[in-house]
Amino acid sequence: MPSDTSPAGTPLQGMDSQEIIRKCRDFLEQTYYAELLERSRKGEHSITLTFSDLAKFDPALGDALLDHPEEILKALEVSLNEFELPTKPAKFAFRFQTLPDSAKIMIRHIRSEHLSKLLWTEGVVRQKSDVRPQVSTARFECPSCGSVISIIQLDLQFKEPYKCSCGRKGKFRLLSKELNDCQNIVLEEVPEQLDGGEQPKRMNVFLKNDLVSPMTEKRTNPGSRILVVGQVKEVPIIHKSGGQSTRFDLLIEANNVLPIEEDFMDITISPEELAEIKKLSTDPKIYERMAGSLAPSIYGHERIKEALVLQLLGGVRKSREDGVVTRGDMHILLIGDPGAAKSQMLRRVAHVAPKARYVTGKGASGAGLSASVVKDEFLQGWSLEAGALVLANKGLCCIDELDKMSKEDSWSMHEALEQQTVTISKANIQATLRAETTVLAAANPKFGRFDPYETVANQIDLPPTLINRFDLIFPIKDVPDPQRDNKMAAFVLRLHQNTVQTPDIETKLLRKYVAYARQHMRPVLSDGAVEELREYYIKMRSSGSAERGHRSIPISARQLEGLVRISEATAKLRLSDTVTRKDAKKAVELLDFCLRQVALDEETGTIDIDRISSDVPASQRNKIMSVKEAIAELEAKVGKIVPLEDVAKASAEKGVGDAEFDEIIEKLKRAGDVWEPRNGFVSRI
């Protein structure tokens, strides 16, 4: 049977162009007429159609759309002229969503057979160009006969008419050109779809018109995970000599771009789910239930699981009029022996949080975490490529093996953890990127396993400035205990025997619960909560041991801000708008639990925050001060050069032992405070 031709001349079996246009008009009239009127009234230039609606109306038309999208989209545009609309835009776009699974393709599987077919793929936006105008159609006038010739501009080079109908060749006069806003993004495959050692492939995606409007542009920010519906097009490769290559490049001309649910703020909650969330929030054991459901396949660690639930909820971000912003994100550090399920907890939290990145120590560099400047092949020049902390903006970044990172690389995290921005100034690019990211990190102790005879603080092999930015630090010790070991062995073996482990609260509901709390709850501190936090802060500050007038600092203002964040997260867990005294007590209990494990000074029996926030604890610093005072006093008596023996005696009277004295003198020499003019004598610099 001979086939008729479509509007653009491609065979569509059994249909002529008028029939296709009529079917398109009937489809729009029956299904989308009301929405078309509304969009036209608002002055919008596009409408999103659902593929299943078209396939139900006419299966042949649905198949034709997948095989010959240009023709069907043109027919839809032509059929629009037959409607009486309030305002008729010059250019109206029809965007499609929910294409069938048969039209799904991975970027690595795109071949020449897919050219000009309508497909959909998903990926992560890696780079994004500026929005720039591009010529789509140009109109030329023939100087001889005056006829007007329209040329559609599809290639990279601007095309002019070769010959007029009157037979004239040569230069034609340009009357007008139609410009469209265009933008190029680079889409990278999603890591979950890859096998083994496969490197994620990239594809250029071409966006135009309303897909680059300021409202829709937010969807395509670097780091966003998107679903692209579009046609695969070939792009000619031009050699430096000016000739065209036999090879062609590929790009996807986007018909529609849809964000994949990523941010907590983007998650939609149905009325049925909302009713379930409200019911769950009234449960008096909600705290225990959520902690148990977060990592049901990990035995014990109840306090850590509670803290991780609160971390997912987070505190309230506050922007003040003077421009100071207080972060609402809680950062947690887990330090533990090997095999303590740290990585498993990180993996599970990354699975529950919708926008999460998982990186590991040796596999991450400072540039990979913050941002880097790369040579841009497609747009020429340099472009900014965001790192993991920026890509996880408004989400969660899990950093495993933090202690295996080099010191220089871990320094790049300082600004992102506290100021929640990443500032870069390289290759003439000065930029500040937002990194409102919650960080959950895991590390091993200095010698791989905790030494029971050494303090925990001395075994944390991380820069003190970095440790101090974490709100909660949990040491996980693997100590043999027959009763606990018996329970754990039974739990682990039962887990291997029965692989199906259903949590008390399903992961989907847990995620929706956290999303609802983050979207709608901004709890405010009550007077009772303020009083409770103030009392704890003052009690801790005054409990520092006084040694020769130098007090140890048990807690600083940074820990007080951490307490506020934990209290707000506890109130969010109950879906409450007010932080009560009970919430504040829970926060105090959690912080006190951490401080007693990592910041306890064994010499004085008090908590000393300097154990984790600086290299030298208060008790050690006081002894250094005592030795320096002894040197200064003897200098006044005997002159500039002081015998070490006399300094040792004077220091012993101030409570400094012989072994400590030798260590302190070495420290002072290295710091450049004293020097040894001759053996057995010291002098201040």
How many angstroms separate the CA atoms of 643 and 182, rounded?
79
Tens-place pLDDT, residues 605-621:
566 565 555 555 556 66
pLDDT score recorded for residue 155? 62
Tens-place pLDDT, residues 254-307:
888 888 866 677 777 888 888 888 888 888 888 888 888 888 878 778 888 888
**Above 80 in pLDDT, residue 545?**
no
Tens-place pLDDT, residues 81-129:
777 776 666 677 888 888 888 888 888 888 888 888 889 998 888 777 7
Q: How confident is the model at residue 453 (pLDDT cuts 50, 70, 90)?
A: low
How many angstroms separate the CA atoms of 579 and 594, rounded?
22
118 Cβ contact list (under 8 Å, min separation 6) = 65, 66, 67, 69, 96, 99, 103, 229, 230, 231, 255
Q: How confident is the model at residue 468 (pLDDT cuts 50, 70, 90)?
A: confident
- Which pairs from 26-30 meet CB under 8 Å and 24+ separation? 26/57, 27/53, 27/54, 27/57, 27/58, 27/61, 28/76, 28/79, 28/80, 28/83, 29/83, 30/57
How many angstroms separate the CA atoms of 309 and 292, rounded?
10
Alpha-helical (H) ranges within 342-384 are 342-352, 366-369
Tens-place pLDDT, residues 368-420:
788 777 776 555 567 677 788 888 888 888 888 888 887 777 777 888 888 88
pLDDT score recorded for residue 611? 56
Helix (H) or strand (E) holding 234: strand 225-238
Q: How many helices (H) and strands (E) does the chain have?
A: 24, 29
How many angstroms separate the CA atoms of 250 and 56, rounded?
32
- The residue among 440, 458, 481, 479 whose CA lies nearest residue 339 is 479
- Please tell me whether residue 383 adopts helix, strand or coil conformation: strand
**Above 50 in pLDDT, residue 551?**
no
**Above 80 in pLDDT, residue 566?**
yes
pLDDT score recorded for residue 224? 76
Taken in order of first residue, the domains within the chain and their CATH numbers are 17-98 (3.30.1640.10), 114-260 (2.40.50.140), 271-518 (3.40.50.300), 618-684 (1.10.10.10)
Task: Give Dmax over CA atoms of the chain in angstroms.
Answer: 118
How many angstroms separate the CA atoms of 30 and 490, rounded?
63
Tens-place pLDDT, residues 25-59:
888 888 888 888 888 777 777 888 888 888 888 88
145 Cβ contact list (under 8 Å, min separation 6) = 164, 165, 166, 168
**Above 80 in pLDDT, residue 523?**
yes
How many angstroms separate the CA atoms of 356 and 538, rounded?
37
Q: How confident is the model at residue 548 (pLDDT cuts 50, 70, 90)?
A: very low
Tens-place pLDDT, residues 427-452:
777 878 888 888 898 888 887 777 76
pLDDT score recorded for residue 613? 54
Percent of the chain whose pLDDT exceeds 90: 0
pLDDT score recorded for residue 550? 41
Tokens of 496: 């291997």
Where is average pLDDT lowest: 10-24, 162-176, 229-243, 259-273? 10-24
Percent of the chain whose pLDDT exceeds 70: 87
Q: Strand (E) positions, 363-519?
A: 371-375, 382-386, 396-400, 421-426, 429-434, 438-443, 472-476
Residue with tokens 């609402």: 328
Whole-model pTM?
Answer: 0.72
Cβ atoms of 220 and 252 closer than 8 Å: no
Residue with tokens 């707000």: 568
Residue with tokens 């986007």: 254
The mean per-residue pLDDT over the stretch 539-552 comes to 56
Where is average pLDDT lowest: 278-292, 345-359, 455-469, 518-532? 455-469
pLDDT score recorded for residue 341? 81
Give the relative orientation of helices 618-638 and 644-653 as an angle to the nearest 10 degrees.
Answer: 130
**Above 50 in pLDDT, residue 11?**
no
- Please tell me whether residue 658 adopts helix, strand or coil conformation: helix
